[in-house]
Amino acid sequence: MGDVMVKLPVFDVLGQAFSAPFRFVWPLLPFFIAAISVALGLIFLWFQMMGPLDPTGAGEVSQTLPGGIGLFFIIIVAYLVFLSVAVLTHRIVAGVDHPWNLVWPVVRYFFVGIGLGLIGLLYFGLSFSIVAAISGATTADADVAGLGPVPLSILTLIALAGIAIGARLFLALPAAALGRKGAMRLAWRLSSGNTFRLFGAWMLYFILMIAINAAAFLVVGGTEVAMQNPEMAPGGMLGAIGAGWLIVNVVVNYYVTVAGAAFLTYSLIALLPNEASTATSVV
């Protein structure tokens, strides 16, 4: 008798994910602040080393090839530093031994992310091209608004299918962070039979994130208005308003980053028992 495939506990996974930023505030919040500071510091350092953007005074931006290459590598390094926050979140949430061993997990995470991005571009690029060709649109007018209701409906279904596929493949990110080989193949196997549950979990996740960001925007938006119009701030309060704006931005970005990584991690952990089931079915 074959093993029963484990089904994703959607609400349990979401509950754990959205509480993770509070439960793991130490050490994740300090590490997040340090990583963001280092990443932004690297980019700022590059601009300082490049000197003024207009050394000739002619109103044109002067940029050299070495400077462009330097900026590219600095952005890559800064991005890897930022990715280390997500990787550390995956590893701490999963409770692995030696979670601070980040170098190779970050590198694997980076390349898996590139692979997922290329798959997404290929999927949606081909899908849009096919729908545009079916609708008779040319490359010049093949935009969403000009497709018509039927092709647009088809494209919407394709987009929803793409999200469902992505919900399964994105489990490769925590798998890579945890050092699992063949992360994409593993993610696809583990999520077999859970496509609709993962799709629903992602939809609920997006809705909750939109609500959180909307609430944060109300706070941040108000402080930005006060900062742009100093006369609106009570005497001596502009500095406090600016500090509050910075704190809210840092906290919200920390929360979104950690909750997102935790959501993927808990989804993977919940489906890991399916690894034995799929291995048995293959044999």
Higher per-residue pLDDT: 104 or 240: 104
Going by pLDDT thresholds of 50, 70 and 90, the confidence category of residue 242 is low
Q: Is the pLDDT of residue 46 over 80?
A: no
Residue 63, number of CB atoms within 10 A of its CB: 11
Q: Alpha-carbon distance 136 to 157, whole Å? A: 19
pLDDT for 75 = 86
Query: Considering only 137-146, 207-216, 255-264, which range has the smallest mean pLDDT?
Result: 137-146
Q: Alpha-carbon distance 218 to 227, whole Å? A: 14
Cα dihedral 197/203/207/213 (nearest 10): 110
pLDDT for 67 = 60
- Whether the predicted model's global pTM rises above the 0.75 cut: yes
pLDDT for 149 = 73
Q: Is 161 exposed, middle or buried (0-12, 13-18, 19+ CB in 10 A)?
A: middle
Q: Is the pLDDT of residue 71 over 90?
A: no
Q: Is 97 exposed, middle or buried (0-12, 13-18, 19+ CB in 10 A)?
A: exposed
How is 80-101 classified by DSSP, letter by letter?
HHHHHHHHHHHHHHHT-SSTT-
Going by pLDDT thresholds of 50, 70 and 90, the confidence category of residue 194 is very high
Q: Is the pLDDT of residue 83 over 50?
A: yes
pLDDT for 240 = 54
From the list 254, 283, 279, the residue with the least C-alpha distance to 36 is 254
pLDDT for 96 = 96
Higher per-residue pLDDT: 4 or 53: 4
For the chain, the average pLDDT equals: 83
Overall average pLDDT of the 187-198 stretch: 96
Q: Is the pLDDT of residue 33 over 90?
A: yes
Query: Considering only 58-62, 226-230, 276-280, which range has the smallest mean pLDDT?
Result: 58-62
Going by pLDDT thresholds of 50, 70 and 90, the confidence category of residue 239 is low
List Cα–Cα distances, 209 to 87, 205, 238, 257, in angstroms. 20, 6, 29, 11
pLDDT for 1 = 43
Domain ranges for the chain = 10-275
From the list 169, 196, 195, the residue with the least C-alpha distance to 182 is 169
pLDDT for 283 = 28
Q: Is the pLDDT of residue 241 over 80?
A: no
Q: Is the pLDDT of residue 236 over 80?
A: no
Structure tokens at 212: 């959180």
pLDDT for 17 = 98
pLDDT for 216 = 80
Q: Which residues contact 85 (CB under 8 A, 6 or more apart)?
A: 28, 31, 32, 35, 36, 257, 258, 261
